[in-house]
Amino acid sequence: MNRLAEESSPYLLQHKDNPVDWYPWGEEAFKRALELDKPIFLSIGYAACHWCHVMERESFEDPTIASVMNEHFINIKVDREEMPEVDAVYMNAIHLTGQGGGWPLS
């Protein structure tokens, strides 16, 4: 069950009909990951991001890919414009690995 339909973020609402079982960033998602002993797949983006739309079209709208994601991960979607502090943590982490960062950041 995708949990983004009740969110206020335009970016999260763009993903409310994906077959991916998305959670917004929050305690519910982290609790579920612990309960099911599943890793988290984190996807950070924003509404005007071209490559975020490409990734949605090529991956998150694909029922086969969504099925694999739903089976093996707790999937969390973050709007970087509404949660810049979360985006900053993970962007810094990717830079510490010596890689360039951009969006979507997954």
Judge whether 30 lies within some domain.
yes
Tell whether pTM > 0.85. yes
Residue 4 within any structural domain of the chain? no
What is the rounded distance in angstroms from the CA atom of residue 85 to the CA atom of residue 74? 21
Question: In whole angstroms, what is the distance from residue 90 CA to residue 13 CA?
Answer: 22
- pLDDT score at 35: 98
What range does the domain containing 40 cover?
Answer: 10-96
Site of tokens 């810049």: 84
Within-domain flag for 66: yes
pLDDT value of residue 86: 98
Q: Per residue in 21-54, pLDDT tens?
A: 999 999 999 999 999 999 999 999 999 999 999 9
Specify the number of domains making up the chain: 1
The one-letter amino acid at 8: S
Q: Check whether 69 has a pLDDT greater than 90.
A: yes
In this structure, what CATH number is given to the domain that contains residue 36? 3.40.30.10
Domain assignment present for residue 39? The answer is yes
List CB contacts of 65: < 8 A, sequence separation 6 or more. Answer: 59
Confidence grade of residue 100 (pLDDT, cut at 50, 70, 90): confident
What DSSP line would sit under 50-67, residue for residue?
HHHHHHIIIIIT-HHHHH
Residue 27 falls inside a structural domain: yes
